[in-house]
C-alpha cells in the first residue's frame, strides 16, 4: 500500500465558491494575473469579500502562483492569513480540501482559498520540453533517461499505452473514443478552448503520430488559464447562498518509485487505486455510487487507466466503456470530464476539474448529469495521486 494515512474529515467542510479565468492560447498574461481573475470570481461566487478569506493555499511550483502577498497586493488587504503551500492543481486540487478542513477544524481559518494557474502557452518556448521542464530538471532523468530520448510526458504515456495494449487489449480506437468524448463535451461547454472545434474519428486517425501509439489528439492542450475554489466550514457554508457541496472523502497515495516508470512494477496502473480506497472509505461509498467523474487526463490512455483504478470496471474494460458512450455527459453510466478535461477544455492541471465537479453537484453545469449527487475527482501525476469525493444535492 502506498496510501497516506489521512484523518477523517468527511462532511466537515464544503466548497462554497468556484471560479475560472478565461481559458486561452497565448495570452501574454502572467500566471498571477490569470489566477487573480479566477480568484475574484471564486470569492464573488461564494458571496464573500476578499477580507473574509483568512486562509490561502497554492503550489510553490514556478514561484509565481497566487500566494498571500499576491492576494494582498491584488485586493489591497492586510489581514493575517493561514498559509499552505500544499495547494494548487494536479493531485493537490484533490487533497487541498483535506488540509483546509484540518485548518478550519483547528480554528486557524474560516474560508480557505485554493488556486492554480498556468501561462504555459505564453511561456512554452522558454521551457525545456514545455511542460516537461520539471522532468528535465531531475538529475537522475538527465543521466539515465533523457540521453536515451525517454522524455517528456507523451513518451512516458506512450510506453504505458503500449503495455496496456499488450496486457489488456486496449486499442487505438479505444483511445480515439476518449478523445472524441472529451471534444464533444468541450463543444457544448462555453469557455472551453476547443468549444468551436469539432473532432471526428477520421481527424483522430489521421492526426500526426507524436509517440506511437499516441497521436496528437491523444494529447492534452497547452493553454493559459486558471481556477480557484473556496473551502468553508459546514456551518458557514449553510449561511451562504449557493447549493451545498460537501467534501465527503479525500485520498492520497505516493508511489515508492517516484515518477520513474522504469522502476514501476506495473506501468498500466496508477496510485489512484490506493488513493481511491482511502477516499471512498472516508466517504462511505464505492465506485458504484459515483454519478459524475472528473479525471486528470493529460493523455487518453491515462483517462482509461484512472477509470480502471477507480474501480468502475475491471482492468482493460475502460476502452469498451468509452466506445459504448458510457463516458458521455449526460447519458453515459460513468460521465467523465463533462467540461472536456485537459484534452479539450483547458490545460489548467486539474483545478478546473474540481470547479466542474462542484458545478455538476450544484446542478448548474453545461453538460449537466441529471440528479448528480456523488462526484469524484481523481488525479495521478505519476509519483503521486489524489482523489476527492464531493457530495451535492439532498445528500450533501
Q: Do 61 and 77 touch, CB atoms closer than 8 A?
A: no
Residue span binding other proteins (CB under 8 A) among the ranges 75-83, 124-132, 171-179, 357-365 = 124-132
Q: Give the whole-angstrom CA distance, residue 278 versus residue 252.
A: 7
Examine residue 146 and tell whether it contacts other proteins (CB under 8 A): yes
Stretch that binds other proteins, among 127-135, 274-282, 336-344, 372-380 (CB under 8 A): 127-135
For residue 296, indicate whether it is catalytic. yes
CA 274 to chain centre: 17
CA distance 377 to 396: 16
**DSSP letter at 5?**
P
Number of residues that bind other proteins (CB under 8 A): 39
Question: Closer to other proteins at the Cβ: 29 or 162?
Answer: 162
CB of 161 to other proteins, least distance (A): 8
Residue 262 interacting with other proteins (CB under 8 A): yes
> What is the Cα–Cα distance from 88 to 14, expressed in whole angstroms?
17
Count of CB atoms situated within 10 Å of the CB of 348: 28
CB of 163 to other proteins, least distance (A): 4
Among 44, 140, 201, 324, binds other proteins (CB under 8 A): 140
Stretch that binds other proteins, among 93-101, 109-117, 157-165, 179-187 (CB under 8 A): 157-165
Residue 292, classed as helix, strand or coil, is: strand
Whole-number Cα distances in Å, 142 to 84, 137, 164, 383: 31, 7, 26, 17
Query: Between 128 and 324, whose beta carbon lies closer to other proteins?
Result: 128
Q: Is 134 in the site for other proteins (CB under 8 A)?
A: no
Note if 347 is an active site residue. yes
Is residue 254 a contact residue for other proteins (CB under 8 A)?
A: no
- Establish if 152 lies at the interface with other proteins (CB under 8 A): yes
Our CB check for other proteins shows the closer of 127 and 188 to be 127
In the complex, the smallest distance separating the C-beta of residue 122 from other proteins, rounded to whole angstroms, is: 19
Q: What is the full DSSP assignment across 197-251?
A: ----HHHHHHSPEEETTEEGGGB----EEEEEEEEEEHHHHHHSSSPP-EEEEEE
200-229: contacts with other proteins (CB under 8 A): 208-214
DSSP-derived secondary structure letter, 284: T
CA 314 and chain centroid, separation: 23
**Distance of alpha carbon 158 from alpha carbon 277, whole angstroms:** 27
- Residues at the interface with other proteins (CB under 8 A): 128-130, 132, 136, 139-140, 142-152, 154-155, 158-160, 162-163, 166, 208-214, 260-263, 265, 267
The residues assigned a catalytic role are 296, 347
Amino acid at each position: 500500500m502506498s496510501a497516506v494515512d489521512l484523518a477523517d474529515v468527511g462532511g466537515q467542510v464544503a466548497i462554497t465558491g468556484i471560479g475560472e479565468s478565461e481559458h486561452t492560447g497565448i495570452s501574454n498574461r502572467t500566471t498571477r494575473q490569470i489566477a487573480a481573475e479566477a480568484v475574484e470570481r471564486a470569492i464573488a461566487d461564494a458571496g464573500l469579500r476578499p477580507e473574509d478569506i483568512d486562509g490561502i493555499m497554492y503550489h510553490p511550483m514556478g514561484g509565481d502562483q497566487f500566494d498571500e502577498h499576491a492576494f494582498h497586493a491584488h485586493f489591497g488587504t492586510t489581514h493575517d492569513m493561514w498559509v499552505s503551500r500544499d495547494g494548487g492543481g494536479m493531485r493537490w486540487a484533490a487533497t487541498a480540501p483535506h488540509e483546509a478542513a484540518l485548518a478550519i477544524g483547528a480554528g486557524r481559518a474560516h474560508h480557505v482559498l485554493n488556486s492554480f494557474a498556468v501561462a504555459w502557452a505564453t511561456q512554452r518556448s522558454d521551457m525545456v520540453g514545455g511542460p516537461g521542464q520539471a522532468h528535465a530538471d531531475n538529475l537522475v532523468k538527465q543521466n539515465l533517461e533523457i540521453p536515451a530520448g525517454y522524455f517528456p510526458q507523451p513518451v512516458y504515456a506512450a510506453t504505458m499505452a503500449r503495455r496496456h495494449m499488450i496486457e489488456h487489449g486496449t486499442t487505438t480506437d479505444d483511445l480515439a473514443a476518449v478523445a472524441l468524448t472529451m471534444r464533444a463535451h468541450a463543444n457544448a461547454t462555453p469557455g472551453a478552448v476547443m468549444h468551436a472545434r469539432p473532432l471526428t474519428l477520421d481527424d483522430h486517425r489521421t492526426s500526426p503520430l507524436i509517440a506511437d501509439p499516441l497521436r496528437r489528439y491523444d494529447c492534452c492542450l497547452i493553454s493559459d488559464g486558471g481556477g480557484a475554489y473556496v473551502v468553508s466550514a459546514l456551518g458557514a457554508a449553510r449561511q451562504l447562498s449557493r447549493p451545498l457541496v460537501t467534501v465527503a472523502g479525500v485520498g492520497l497515495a505516493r508511489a515508492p518509485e517516484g515518477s520513474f516508470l522504469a522502476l514501476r512494477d506495473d506501468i498500466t496502473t496508477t496510485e489512484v487505486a490506493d488513493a481511491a480506497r482511502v477516499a471512498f472509505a472516508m466517504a462511505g461509498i464505492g465506485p458504484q455510487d459515483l454519478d459524475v467523474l472528473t479525471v486528470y487526463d493529460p493523455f487518453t490512455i491515462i483517462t482509461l487507466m484512472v477509470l480502471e483504478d477507480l474501480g468502475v470496471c475491471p482492468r482493460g474494460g475502460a476502452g469498451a466503456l468509452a466506445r459504448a458512450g458510457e463516458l458521455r455527459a449526460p447519458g453515459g453510466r460513468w460521465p467523465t470530464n463533462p467540461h472536456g478535461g485537459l484534452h479539450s477544455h483547458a490545460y489548467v492541471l486539474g483545478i478546473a476539474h474540481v470547479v466542474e465537479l462542484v458545478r455538476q453537484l450544484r446542478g448548474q453545469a453545461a453538460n449537466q448529469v441529471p440528479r448528480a449527487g456523488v462526484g469524484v475527482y481523481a488525479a495521478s501525476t505519476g509519483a503521486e495521486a489524489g482523489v476527492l469525493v464531493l457530495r451535492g444535492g439532498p445528500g450533501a
